[in-house]
Amino acid sequence: YRFQEEYERLQSIAQSLKKPVSAINGSTKDLNAYENEEDSVTLVQYQAGAMGLNLQKASKCIFFSLTDSSNLYEQARKRIHRIGQRNTCTYWIFKCRDGIDDGVYKALMRKADYTNDLFIKDSQTWAKRFSRTR
Protein backbone atom coordinates (compact mmCIF):
# COMPACT_ATOMS: atom_id res chain seq x y z
CA TYR A 1 0.00 0.00 0.00
CA ARG A 2 1.03 3.61 -0.38
CA PHE A 3 -1.19 5.75 1.82
CA GLN A 4 -2.35 5.71 5.44
CA GLU A 5 -6.03 5.53 4.47
CA GLU A 6 -5.30 2.39 2.44
CA TYR A 7 -3.52 0.87 5.44
CA GLU A 8 -6.45 1.59 7.73
CA ARG A 9 -8.95 0.03 5.32
CA LEU A 10 -6.81 -3.04 4.69
CA GLN A 11 -6.23 -3.51 8.41
CA SER A 12 -9.98 -3.27 9.02
CA ILE A 13 -10.69 -5.89 6.33
CA ALA A 14 -8.07 -8.26 7.77
CA GLN A 15 -9.46 -7.83 11.27
CA SER A 16 -13.03 -8.45 10.08
CA LEU A 17 -11.73 -11.73 8.59
CA LYS A 18 -10.15 -12.52 11.98
CA LYS A 19 -6.64 -12.50 10.47
CA PRO A 20 -3.69 -11.52 12.68
CA VAL A 21 -2.00 -8.43 11.20
CA SER A 22 1.64 -7.39 10.98
CA ALA A 23 2.56 -3.96 9.64
CA ILE A 24 5.61 -2.21 8.28
CA ASN A 25 5.36 1.49 7.50
CA GLY A 26 7.09 4.75 8.38
CA SER A 27 6.10 4.55 12.05
CA THR A 28 5.71 0.80 12.69
CA LYS A 29 7.75 -2.34 12.18
CA ASP A 30 5.71 -5.12 13.76
CA LEU A 31 6.30 -8.60 12.33
CA ASN A 32 4.94 -10.47 15.34
CA ALA A 33 1.88 -11.93 13.57
CA TYR A 34 3.94 -12.74 10.45
CA GLU A 35 6.55 -14.61 12.48
CA ASN A 36 4.22 -16.39 14.92
CA GLU A 37 0.88 -16.99 13.18
CA GLU A 38 0.17 -19.34 10.28
CA ASP A 39 -2.65 -17.41 8.66
CA SER A 40 -1.57 -13.80 9.13
CA VAL A 41 -1.69 -10.75 6.89
CA THR A 42 1.36 -8.49 6.60
CA LEU A 43 0.73 -4.94 5.37
CA VAL A 44 3.87 -3.34 3.95
CA GLN A 45 4.18 0.24 2.74
CA TYR A 46 6.44 0.45 -0.33
CA GLN A 47 8.97 2.97 0.97
CA ALA A 48 9.30 1.30 4.36
CA GLY A 49 9.55 -2.32 3.31
CA ALA A 50 10.43 -2.72 -0.34
CA MET A 51 14.15 -3.13 0.30
CA GLY A 52 16.07 -5.34 2.68
CA LEU A 53 13.09 -7.20 4.10
CA ASN A 54 12.91 -11.01 4.06
CA LEU A 55 9.36 -12.32 3.87
CA GLN A 56 10.02 -15.70 2.25
CA LYS A 57 7.72 -17.41 4.75
CA ALA A 58 4.94 -15.94 2.58
CA SER A 59 4.37 -16.95 -1.03
CA LYS A 60 1.38 -14.75 -1.87
CA CYS A 61 1.54 -11.00 -2.39
CA ILE A 62 -1.30 -8.61 -3.17
CA PHE A 63 -0.47 -5.17 -4.53
CA PHE A 64 -3.40 -3.05 -3.40
CA SER A 65 -2.01 0.05 -5.09
CA LEU A 66 0.96 0.41 -7.39
CA THR A 67 4.02 2.57 -6.99
CA ASP A 68 5.14 4.61 -9.99
CA SER A 69 8.76 3.44 -9.46
CA SER A 70 9.75 0.28 -11.33
CA ASN A 71 12.72 -0.24 -8.99
CA LEU A 72 10.51 -0.06 -5.90
CA TYR A 73 7.96 -2.40 -7.50
CA GLU A 74 10.60 -5.01 -8.41
CA GLN A 75 12.13 -4.81 -4.93
CA ALA A 76 8.69 -5.24 -3.36
CA ARG A 77 8.12 -8.40 -5.45
CA LYS A 78 11.44 -9.79 -4.27
CA ARG A 79 10.48 -9.63 -0.58
CA ILE A 80 8.76 -13.03 -0.90
CA HIS A 81 10.81 -14.38 -3.83
CA ARG A 82 14.02 -15.00 -1.86
CA ILE A 83 16.59 -17.69 -1.23
CA GLY A 84 14.87 -20.21 0.99
CA GLN A 85 11.45 -19.79 -0.62
CA ARG A 86 9.89 -23.25 -0.90
CA ASN A 87 6.68 -22.35 -2.70
CA THR A 88 5.76 -20.78 -6.01
CA CYS A 89 5.26 -17.05 -5.52
CA THR A 90 1.90 -15.67 -6.63
CA TYR A 91 1.21 -11.97 -7.12
CA TRP A 92 -2.14 -10.21 -7.48
CA ILE A 93 -2.50 -6.60 -8.55
CA PHE A 94 -5.61 -4.56 -7.79
CA LYS A 95 -6.08 -1.83 -10.37
CA CYS A 96 -8.83 0.19 -11.99
CA ARG A 97 -9.42 -0.49 -15.65
CA ASP A 98 -9.14 2.44 -18.06
CA GLY A 99 -7.66 4.76 -15.44
CA ILE A 100 -4.27 5.93 -14.28
CA ASP A 101 -3.62 2.45 -12.83
CA ASP A 102 -3.48 1.02 -16.36
CA GLY A 103 -0.75 3.46 -17.35
CA VAL A 104 1.21 2.77 -14.17
CA TYR A 105 0.84 -1.00 -14.65
CA LYS A 106 1.97 -0.88 -18.30
CA ALA A 107 5.02 1.19 -17.37
CA LEU A 108 5.96 -1.20 -14.54
CA MET A 109 5.64 -4.23 -16.84
CA ARG A 110 8.20 -2.54 -19.13
CA LYS A 111 10.38 -1.86 -16.06
CA ALA A 112 9.88 1.87 -16.59
CA ASP A 113 8.93 4.59 -14.13
CA TYR A 114 5.46 5.99 -14.79
CA THR A 115 6.43 9.61 -14.11
CA ASN A 116 9.29 9.35 -16.62
CA ASP A 117 6.85 7.93 -19.16
CA LEU A 118 4.57 10.92 -18.66
CA PHE A 119 7.37 13.41 -19.26
CA ILE A 120 8.63 11.54 -22.32
CA LYS A 121 5.14 11.29 -23.84
CA ASP A 122 4.44 14.94 -23.01
CA SER A 123 7.69 16.12 -24.58
CA GLN A 124 7.13 13.98 -27.69
CA THR A 125 3.58 15.30 -28.08
CA TRP A 126 4.79 18.87 -27.59
CA ALA A 127 7.62 18.37 -30.10
CA LYS A 128 5.18 17.04 -32.73
CA ARG A 129 2.80 19.95 -32.22
CA PHE A 130 5.63 22.48 -32.30
CA SER A 131 7.14 21.04 -35.50
CA ARG A 132 3.73 21.20 -37.25
CA THR A 133 3.34 24.91 -36.51
CA ARG A 134 6.68 25.87 -38.04
C-alpha 81/C-alpha 61 separation (Å) is: 10
| Amino acid (1-letter code) at residue 119 | F
Taking the chain (134 residues) in consecutive chunks of 10 residues, what is each chunk's mean pLDDT?
92 97 94 95 91 90 93 94 93 89 92 82 57 59
C-alpha 82/C-alpha 56 separation (Å) is: 6
Please give the pLDDT value at position 1.
Answer: 86
Please give the pLDDT value at position 16.
Answer: 98
Instruction: Write out the DSSP string of 7-34.
Output: HHHHHHHHHHTT--EEEESSS-EE-HHH
Ordered structural domains, the chain, with CATH? 4-95 (3.40.50.300)
Please give the pLDDT value at position 130.
Answer: 56
Please give the pLDDT value at position 124.
Answer: 60
Do 31 and 42 form a contact (C-beta atoms < 8 A)?
A: yes
Question: Model's pTM, two decimal places?
Answer: 0.77
Please give the pLDDT value at position 122.
Answer: 53
